[in-house]
Amino acid sequence: MATSLKNLSDYNSDQLPDISGKRFGIVVAEWNKTITDALCKGAYETLLTHGAKPENIHRNTVPGSFELTLGSQYMAMSNEIDAVIALGVVIKGETKHDDYICHAVAKGLTDVALKFNKPVIFGLVTTNDEQQALDRAGGKHGNKGVEAAVTAIQMLALHS
Ligand code: DLZ
């Protein structure tokens, strides 16, 4: 199979390729729902801004970030999805749960991407407290959902 590879650095957020025919899956964790909804809104609107059709953007929710891996696999295994964006917020607590979840999700999403040879974007916000998460979900540090969507578009452009 012939593959034309381009450099990721050929693209920036103002010069993204046409995605009008691309199909996206957004998987959103319900823990910290207000914040993950803001990430999802950022990702969804970014895809629309860059030409994706609303009917080509599919959204699924999963209970918590730990479930993002399997939720993403369900999306990635579909022939009707070209790229998956996984969104969650993990806030540090008194125990090491955050470490376990974040490592599992990072490894899991990597495995899904390689298994299905599709972009599966790691849109997990991992912070020490809720304010830091809000700052990254449309606050003073931007919106990681937007970044995740741009990354998905960039990755799709690498493999045409
Ligand atoms: C259990 C748990 C905890 C303590 N914290 C978070 C969190 O900050 N963010 C998140 O998305 N999910 C959390 N969860 C839930 C786990 O991701 C998972 O849903 C449960 O352990 C069930 O597998």
In a domain, 48, yes or no: yes
ipTM of this complex prediction, to 2 decimal places: 0.99
In a domain, 107, yes or no: yes
In a domain, 2, yes or no: no
In a domain, 145, yes or no: yes
Count Cβ atoms below 10 Å from residue 11 Cβ, excluding itself.
17
Domain that holds residue 54: 22-158
In a domain, 1, yes or no: no
Q: What is the pLDDT of residue 94?
A: 85
Q: What is the tally of structural domains in the chain?
A: 1
In a domain, 8, yes or no: no
| 103: annotated active-site residue | no
Mutate to test the pocket of ligand 1, among 27, 28, 30, 31 (most ligand atoms within 8 A of CB): 31
Q: Are strands 137-139 and 142-143 parallel, antiparallel or unpaired?
A: antiparallel
Q: What is the pLDDT of residue 160?
A: 64
Does ligand 1 come within 6 angstroms of the Cβ of 19? no
Does ligand 1 come within 6 angstroms of the Cβ of 36? no
Q: What is the pLDDT of residue 5?
A: 46
Confidence (pTM): 0.92
In a domain, 11, yes or no: no
- Set 97, 103, 141, 159: catalytic member: 97
- CATH at 150: 3.40.50.960
Q: What is the pLDDT of residue 20?
A: 94
| pLDDT in single tens digits along all 160 residues of the chain | 444 444 445 556 567 788 999 999 999 999 999 999 999 999 999 999 999 999 999 999 999 999 999 999 999 999 999 999 999 999 998 889 999 999 999 999 999 999 999 999 999 999 999 999 999 999 999 999 999 999 999 999 987 6
In a domain, 87, yes or no: yes
Q: What is the pLDDT of residue 143?
A: 97
> What separation in Å is there between the alpha carbon of 48 and the centre of ligand 1?
30
